[in-house]
Amino acid sequence: MAVETHGPMDDATVCFLSDLGRKISELSGDPLDGQFLFQRISVLIQRFNAILFNETFPVEDGIDA
């Protein structure tokens, strides 16, 4: 799955993820699993963006991060 992080999700993406979340909720029996899917994707994007942002700084010898 690829996620564009330079703007909001388009309608097709939201529809796809909503359908996927609904199917997951039906299988698990937990009505919140669809919301958890959106939250998890959001957290993954934020973590990846933080890693990319951190890699923009130069690494200096002798300094432990």
Is 36 within the bounds of a domain? Answer: yes
Total domain count for the chain? 1
Average pLDDT over residues 19-39: 94
Q: What is the pTM of this model?
A: 0.69
Q: How many CB atoms within 10 Å of residue 17?
A: 17
Average pLDDT over residues 13-33: 94
Is 64 within the bounds of a domain? Answer: no
Average pLDDT, the chain: 85
Range of the domain at 51: 31-55
pLDDT of 65 > 60? The answer is: no
